[in-house]
Each structure stands twice: as C-alpha cells, then as structure tokens.
Amino acid sequence: MKFKNLGDMFFSKRNTYADKTAYMFKKEGSWQEVTFKEAVDKVEKISAGFSSLGIKKGDAIAIVSQNRLEWAMTDYAAVSLGALLVPIYPSLLPDQVKYILNDSEAKIVVAEDQTQLQKVESVKTQLSHTNNFFVLDDEGKGIPAKWNKYATLMEKGEIILKKDAGFITKQIDQVSADDWATIIYTSGTTGEPKGAILTHKNLLSNIESATSVLDVYDTDVFLSFLPLSHIFERMAGHYLSCYHSCTVAYAESIDAVAQNLTEIKPTLMVSVPRLYEKIFARVIDMIESGPPLKRKIFYWAVGVGKAYINLVMEHKSVPGLLSLKQKLAHKLVFHKLQDRVGGRTRFFVSGGAPLSADIAEFFGAAGIKILEGYGLTETSPVIAVNLEDNYRFGTVGPIVPGVEVKFAEDGEILTRGDHVMVGYFKKEEETKEAIDDEGWFYTGDIGELDDRKMLKITDRKKNIIVTSGGKNIAPQPIENMLITSQYIEQALVIGDKRKFCSAIIVPSEENMKSWAKEMKIEFSNYSEMIALSEINKLIQSEIEKVTIGLASYETIKNFIFAKGPFTIETGELTPSLKIKRNIVEKNYASDIDKMYAA
C-alpha cells in the first residue's frame, strides 16, 4: 500500500499539496476554502488535544453531526493517534445514540449543535464510558456542565505541540495498517445495530482496489452530501478524495444539493439512488406538464440517447446518422439537464441500494454517466463497480481487483480479501455467522455474474418472497420498476406466503397536485389525496404501465396506500434511506390482511 495508515495519508498532503484547496464549505452565503496545509495544521492540534485527555491507541471517539469540515478533522485527528472514530447518524434518537456510545465504549463524544447536544445530554447519566463532551456550534445558548466548545481541543493541543512539535507525527508512525480505524454501526433493516470493525488496511486497500479501475485526479471536485456516517460517502467522498488530493465541498443540506451542484460544479459525486430518482421524477413531471411539441422533442431525444448509449455500452459501432441525431438531442434537450448537475460532471457513483436500470439508462441517454457499485459496511465497502468504459445498466459492474467473490449454492454472494472487516465489536457469535473459517464473508445478497462478468444483484436473501404457490420472487427489481412512475414516490412489494403479490404505495404528492390541477380535482392534504377514487385509478394504471413484462406471478394484483411517506422519523427508513421492510409490514399488518381478505 502507498501509505502506512490513514493518518500518514492525510499528513502527507501538507508537504505535497500544501496550498491546494482541500475543503470548501458555505458560510454566510459564500463558499470558504481551506488548504491542505491549513486542514492538517488544525487536525494536528485537535489530535494533540485528544491526547491531552488521555486518548490513546484503541480508544473510541464518537461524533454525531452532519457533513462538515470538523467531521473530517475529527476523524483524521482520531486515526492519527491510532484511536477509532465511531460515527453516529444525526437522525438517530437519544436511546439509539446511548446504545452506540455504550456499546462502542466511546470515551469522547463530539456533538454538532444544540439539537445533538440535547440528545446526548438526555442520556448522559446512563453513559458507561463517555466522560468528555464537546459541541461544534453552541449557537449562543450556552452549554451544560461538563460540555466544552470544540475550539478548546485545539487550545489543549497547542500546549502539547509547543513542547514537542513532532508529537503527532511520532504517534502516526506507531499506527500499523492492521490497527482498528473505526467502528461503524450498521443501521440494519432488522434487529440490534452491530458495530463493524474496519482497519486502516481495510480502507486503504479498498481505495486502491477501486481507483485502480476508476480514474480519479487531483483536479477533481467532490460534492459531499450523503452522510459521512455512511461507509459509502466516508470511503469515496472523504478518504478516497484525500488519497488523490481532490477538493471536497460540503453541501449545505440535502435540500440545497440542487443549488450547490450549480455553484460548485463538481466533477464527481456519490449518492444513493434516491437523488437520481427525484431528479428523474422532477424532469418527467416538468415535461409532462409542458406543451405537446416540447414533450415530443424530449421523448424523441430520449429515444435517440437510449439507442446511442446502449450501443456504446455493448461496445458496438454507432451508425453515423445516429451520432448526428445524438449531437442534436444534446443541443436541443440534454445540455439543460447536464447544466442542472453542474455541467462538468465526469461521472456519478450510485450505491447503498439498488438503482433502477431504467433510471440509469435515462441518465446515460442524457450523457450523464451513473456508475452503480456494490458493497457493504463490512466490506469497506466496494466489492464491484461499473467503470467508465465497461458498464452495463442493471448490474453493479465487474469485481474490483484484489477482491475475491464466489457464490453459495443458493446464490448468496460471498467475498474474501483485505477489504473484509475484522468482525462485529463484542459480538463473537454474529461474527462467526458472517465470516467462515476460510475468511469468506456472507453478504446476505443473492447475485450472479452475467456473460461479461458483471455482477447482478437479485435481492437481499431475507427479502425473497415465496408465494403460497411456491414461486420465488425478488421484490427489489419490481419496486424499482414502480418508482419509475412520476406518480409513485415509494413502494414496498409484499406477498410472502400469500397467493399473489401486492404493494404498499406512497404517491408523489407534489406530482399528484400538478395532475389533479389539470384534471380539475381538488384535495388539500395527503390524507384527502389518497382517499380519492381518481388517484386510486391513476396509480393502478401506472402500476400496470411500468410493470409490463413481469411474469404473471410477479405482477401486482392489488395495493394499498401508505398513511404517509416512509421516513427516518417514523422508523420506516434506515438513515441510509432503505425501507425497513419488517417495520412497514408490521405497521400495516391489519390493512394488508384486509386487502388479501377482500
């Protein structure tokens, strides 16, 4: 490996890229820039500050915060000491925060603001190991006893560094690649969270595996908005970007991503499919509500773009006339969409959940390449990823170098290599269930390799539906079909041990309003909307339209409306925006039973 550990990787930038912009963030309406030297200097002080509090190799430091510069600095400060960072999703409830702090044995917690501070404060007396508390923003409201401002860490660190300027570099030298770097708690769609232990080698080897096949340059600019608590963003938009000396700009919020895209004009970005689904739905709604000529030109361009990109994808020659049409389609239609995502994106990467092949194809047709990848928290995370010159919609691409993959008899994907975690923290039995004696990690996903050695994920093993007639059905591909409708926001397919498949549907309220206005139908809120027979009929027709081609036993025979969108707050989504299937089915158990009884 190029670097001894993650601290070595980060501190090396002070010499090689001192004056280059490392980070950007928006403050009071304007983007601020921080050079690599400025960032490393601050991290050195923070790391020494942690050391002054008794933090040493193997100790845990927790952070509960949105993406921001201090999140990155806290991480690098921890790993430079050989300590490990424990990220906590800011959307978690106080009891969940308490569980992670106690289970990880975190000695220090860093909270972003008063909201996160109060979560920790409400459970502080129940914490077993945490005895130092820091807040990034106190918002002028004052802070409770035993809490300190984050700036005091640098003040403490400066005192140590005045006595020994090389103190932290000496600490970095003592950290080996096999030392633990982090414990990441899997949000999980079922059961108690488990802390996956990842080493410096896990993460650095995975960076080198991924970027041996993906081109990343020091001129690249990342827009970071997917939570850094999620391994996908942390590896790609945090460690990998630093490895290649890229610039990272932190989005103001998820709601501001659209605006920040046009301001930052990123060249690279990683996201879960939800962002791409929302952009797709917004574009289709705009087109459908526009004049007929505009619609005709748009769908002509999409048809041309799809014909073009599918030939390119399969490495087939493109006829001259089609190339001319594609250039015209770009000039008339697609350049506007490309401008909306900044205008200079080389490619997006999608992960964390399956991306609909139709949506990937649509963006590909528009000249926006979305490279879908696959991995898990336990695998650091990348196992496979589509490449710029070797991709196929509906797959997660070829296996990356240095990663072994094989399939169990039932099709479950097994993987082995330097990317596989040490195990689950303090959970020996769960670790033995996940990793066998030969080092193979059982992913819980069902998949196969196609004729081009592209990995195709069928579904989660535990999600496979077996109907009462004995038919095995993978729900995720069907759900991906459903959400390609502009009128369907979220969908969950059910049918295990039932005679047929059905679905729980969350309609897109925003797009429904536009449709209802055109049809002269009125409703004032979500509840009124889903009670309308016209809405029911529209969704039924949309389901039939977008699921053409399914086998008869896979078709959606009936559906019910959810009482509201699935959210993290209702407990129906994980922090990485996956639907908690078991929770939703439990919440709607009586409605489901009535639907099948009818």
CB under 8 Å to 484, separation ≥6 — which residues? 280, 356, 358, 359, 546
CB 474 within 8 A of CB 458: yes
CATH 3.30.300.30 residue ranges for the chain: 464-597
In the prediction, which pLDDT does 468 show?
Answer: 87
Q: What is the pTM of this model?
A: 0.88
In the prediction, which pLDDT does 370 show?
Answer: 97
- pLDDT, tens digit, 9 for 90 and up, residues 313-348: 999 999 999 999 999 999 999 999 999 999 999 999
If one counts every other C-beta atom within 10 angstroms of the C-beta of residue 445, the result is: 23
In the prediction, which pLDDT does 188 show?
Answer: 52
Q: Give the Cα separation of 399 and 383 in Å (integer).
A: 6
CB 457 within 8 A of CB 230: no
3-state secondary structure labels for all residues of 133-202: EEECCCCCCCCCCCEEECHHHHHHHHHHHHHCCCHHHHHHHCCCCCCEEEEEECCCCCCCCCEEEEEHHH
CA atoms within 13 A on the CB side of 194: 22
Q: What does residue 19 show for φ and ψ, rounded to 5 degrees?
A: -95, 0
Residue found under tokens 């429904």: 512
Measure the N-to-C terminal CA separation of the chain; round to a whole number of Å: 62
Q: Give the Cα separation of 248 and 152 in Å (integer).
A: 26
CB 46 within 8 A of CB 157: yes
In the prediction, which pLDDT does 187 show?
Answer: 65
Signed CA dihedral, 314, 319, 320, 325: sign only: negative
CB under 8 Å to 534, separation ≥6 — which residues? 516, 519, 521
The segments of the chain whose pLDDT lies below 70 read 187-191
Nearest CA to 506 out of 585, 556, 564, 581 is that of 564
CB 110 within 8 A of CB 134: yes
CA atoms within 13 A on the CB side of 21: 14
In the prediction, which pLDDT does 189 show?
Answer: 47
In the prediction, which pLDDT does 234 show?
Answer: 97
Tell me the CA distances in angstroms from 59 to 77, 85, 422, 573, one per residue in order: 12, 9, 16, 31
Pick one of 2.40.50.140, 3.10.180.10, 3.40.50.300, 3.40.50.12780 as the CATH number of 6-254: 3.40.50.12780
In the prediction, which pLDDT does 136 show?
Answer: 97
Indicate the pairing of strand 84-88 with strand 60-64: parallel
Residue found under tokens 């697609």: 334
| Domain boundaries 464-597, corresponding CATH code | 3.30.300.30
The two three-digit tokens of residue 321, written as one number? 């006339």
3-state secondary structure labels for all residues of 512-558: HHHHHHHCCCCCCCHHHHHHCHHHHHHHHHHHHHHCCCCCHHHCEEE
CATH 3.40.50.12780 residue ranges for the chain: 6-254
Q: What is the DSSP code (8-state) at residue 410?
A: T
Q: Give the Cα separation of 134 and 115 in Å (integer).
A: 13
In the prediction, which pLDDT does 434 show?
Answer: 96
In the prediction, which pLDDT does 315 show?
Answer: 96
